[in-house]
Amino acid sequence: MSNPFIHPNVTDAMLQSVARKTDAVVNVLRAAASEFQPIAFASSMGPEDMVLTDLIQRHGIDIDIFTLDTGRLPAETYELMARADKHYGMRPVTFFPRHEAVEEYVRKHGVNGFYDSVELRKACCAMRKVEPLKRALAGKKAWITGMRAQQSATRAELPVRQFDESHDIEKFNPLSDWTERDVWVYIQSNQVPYNALHEQFYPSIGCQPCTRAISPGEDIRAGRWWWENPESKECGLHVKA
């Protein structure tokens, strides 16, 4: 069954609204790149990040693009990486977790120890995402994210620009006021590549063991760390110190 939410019946009004929001995002990206160099965009290959990748490449904005490979991503995410490489003729720099940390974690807690407690899940995220992100941002003056305020309770008050105390760096969230529909109107009208799992009701995709499909009416991030309360559903990449 096709997912109707990612195939919206696009109207002229919707296109005009997204066009206005797109102009605003491009202005934010250009201003950020002009004020801060070097600057980087952290792509998780999600739909929002594919929108930003498309805009950065389409408008030739001087922003580096990198991604984090946790080592436990779904096969469909790797397939998207390969398709995006060909589509845009560029390959983001990829950062991996330290193998020593992964080996120690598995020895102590097991290969799926993150299911046992919120603390162990966050420790896994810290090892596979947070530490590689610190290396990716080393020496950067600012970074761009694809976060949206509508995504979850932990992101409800999300500014377009903020100072990230955790990484001591300026941070921009250009899609903060975009809706899920805005994202998919842009993707469909601009032929932007996206993860095949979205067709199977996976609106938010992280590591394979920590992501499931959702049912109609569920929150869009209900499939991420589904065994936890909504208030704890962050991996540590976007939590203030």
Domain count for the chain, please give it.
Answer: 1
Q: CA-to-CA distance for 87 and 237, rounded, in angstroms? A: 28
User: Is residue 53 a contact partner of residue 174, using CB atoms and an 8 Å limit?
Assistant: no
Does the residue 237 lie in any domain? Answer: no
Q: What is the Cα–Cα distance from 222 to 114, expressed in whole angstroms? A: 17
Cα–Cα distance for residue pair 222/88, rounded to 1 Å: 31
Is pLDDT above 80 for 142?
yes
Q: Are 149 and 176 in contact (CB under 8 A)?
A: yes
pLDDT tens digits, one per residue of 128-141: 999 999 999 999 99
235 classed as catalytic = yes
Asked whether residue 14 is assigned to any structural domain, the reply reads yes
Taking alpha carbons only, the member of 120, 140, 155, 144 closest to residue 234 is: 155
Q: Establish if 120 belongs to a structural domain.
A: yes
Residues facing 93 on adjacent strands: 66
Look at residue 159 and tell me whether its pLDDT is greater than 70: yes
pLDDT tens by residue, 204-236:
899 999 999 998 878 877 888 888 877 655 655
Q: What is the mean predicted confidence (pLDDT) over 111-125?
A: 95
Domain with 165 in it: 4-232
According to the model, what pLDDT value does residue 241 have? 43
Q: Quickly state the pLDDT bin for 16 (edges 50, 70, 90).
A: very high
- Catalytic entry in 124, 125, 210, 235: 235
- Let me know: does 93 contact 63? Beta carbons within 8 Å: no
- 53 touches 84 (CB < 8 A): yes
| Amino acid type, 181 | R
Residue 162 tokens, joined:
């903020």
Share of the chain above pLDDT 90, in %: 78
Instruction: Write out the DSSP string of 116-154.
Output: S-HHHHHHHHIIIIIHHHHHHHTT-SEEE----GGG-GG
Tokens linked to 74: 């779904």
Whether 238 maps to a domain, the answer reads: no
Q: Which of 81-90, 143-152, 153-162 comes out lowest in average pLDDT?
A: 153-162
Confirm if 241 and 165 have CB atoms less than 8 A apart: yes
Any domain includes 241: no
User: What are the tens digits of pLDDT across the range 29-56?
Assistant: 999 999 999 999 999 999 999 999 999 9
Q: Which of 89, 92, 62 is nearest to 77 (CA)?
A: 92
Cβ atoms of 56 and 63 within 8 Å: the answer is yes
pLDDT confidence of residue 196: 96
Nearest-10 crossing angle of helices 118-125, 99-109: 160
Q: Is residue 240 part of a domain?
A: no
In CATH, what number is assigned to the domain containing residue 132?
3.40.50.620
